[in-house]
Amino acid sequence: MSFLYPQWLALLAIPVILAFWEWVRPGQPLVLPFDHGTGGRGRILNFFVLCANCLPAGLLTIAIIFLAHPITYQPPEIERQLSNIQIVLDTSGSMREKHGDQTKAKHSRFDSAMESVESFLGYRKGDAFGLTIFSRNFIHWVPLTLDTQAIVMSRPFIEPNVLPDEFWGGTFIGNALLGAAEHLAARPVGDRMIILLTDGESSDIKSPKDVPIIADLKAKGVLVYAVFLTTDAVDQGLIGICRSTGGEAFNAVTPEALQAVFKHIDEMKKVVVLEKKPRAADYYDPFFVPALALLAAAVFALFGLRFNPW
């Protein structure tokens, strides 16, 4: 325990002097005549009376301590550094193609992507997640939020072929990356990351169109990871974009491989733990009970515990 205003503690000399004077002052003794009487010394009563007279000094002591503002330091808080992660998910018609084992039921690339995303949300608890769906155009379906259930609950509404091809057909990865980067740039605090899930090639990331995309991502401090959900080789333009930002591009032919990719991404982008300084907190609690006890005793003493005034 320490005090925010320790200079006030010098005033503690006042109640100490008052209490000391109460015990040592001679007072004004008065002899009363009693025939054949031997009066007692009254030492027990004298002790209680002197204690009662010292109660105001005790209350003054507590008041001075309160003025000095007692504080204590709590243990440092542990806080993780926030990462802002935008999932950029391809929902073009080709994402309905089969992916992995089909013995139990039809399992599409979209199904694998959503299941892996849901698992990844569990790895990165405490981060802010958003969901951008794209094909020809893009929609920020879920803005960056700590409520990751919003992404899980969106699954029935973003399945491929929900939107008409006249509006949604085609795959433009560069356009989606630029839109997601702009959305991330609006967050002033925390790291910025894009995880792209796609199965198609895109004409708007091939050289030299990839140059302004890389420049924009680097200027906004956005790290890009891309996962390609087919056996085809990942587009060199997409690989260049990811590696230029400090990320990487992966193939994930099966749902198991996709899960492994997400675990690998989690290991590559470690959670940063921040330890704050100890926090000062008021420390009045130990003094409340003594203060109330002294006040109650002082009030009780006013009902008659005193020396006779003559």
pLDDT in the model for residue 173: 95
Contact 71, 281 (CB under 8 A): yes
* Mean of pLDDT values over 17-46: 70
pLDDT in the model for residue 33: 61
Instruction: Give domain 79-274's CATH architecture.
Output: 3-Layer(aba) Sandwich (3.40)
Sequence-distant (6+) residues with CB within 8 A of 240 are: 207, 210, 214
pLDDT in the model for residue 239: 93
User: When comparing pLDDT for 290 and 102, which is higher?
Assistant: 290
Whole-number Å distance between alpha carbons of 229 and 110: 9
pLDDT in the model for residue 30: 60
- Over 70: is that where the pLDDT of 192 sits? yes
Whole-number Å distance between alpha carbons of 70 and 108: 64
- Over 80: is that where the pLDDT of 231 sits? yes
Q: Six-digit token pair at 143?
A: 């803005």
Return the domain boundaries, the chain: 2-28+40-75+278-301, 79-274
Identify the weakest region by mean pLDDT among 159-173, 265-279, 282-296: 265-279
Nearest to 92 by CA among 4, 168, 13, 1: 168
Q: Six-digit token pair at 121?
A: 């949300």
pLDDT in the model for residue 13: 92
* Mean of pLDDT values over 62-76: 84
Whole-number Å distance between alpha carbons of 301 and 58: 14
- Over 90: is that where the pLDDT of 244 sits? yes
Read off the pLDDT of residues 71-116 as tens digits, 9 standing for 90 and up.
887 766 655 567 899 999 999 888 988 887 777 778 899 999 999 9
Contact 229, 199 (CB under 8 A): yes
User: When comparing pLDDT for 29 and 279, which is higher?
Assistant: 279
* Mean of pLDDT values over 234-257: 90
Q: Six-digit token pair at 273?
A: 């733990």
Whole-number Å distance between alpha carbons of 112 and 135: 18
pLDDT band at 210 (very low <50, low <70, confident <90, very high): very high
How many of the other CB atoms lie within 10 Å of CB of 32? Answer: 8
pLDDT in the model for residue 287: 87
Contact 307, 27 (CB under 8 A): yes
Listed as own residue / partner, the contacts of 297-300 with beta carbons closer than 8 Å and 24 or more positions apart are 297/52, 297/55, 298/52, 298/55, 298/56, 298/59
User: When comparing pLDDT for 233 and 167, which is higher?
Assistant: 233
pLDDT band at 127 (very low <50, low <70, confident <90, very high): confident
Nearest to 88 by CA among 169, 195, 184: 195
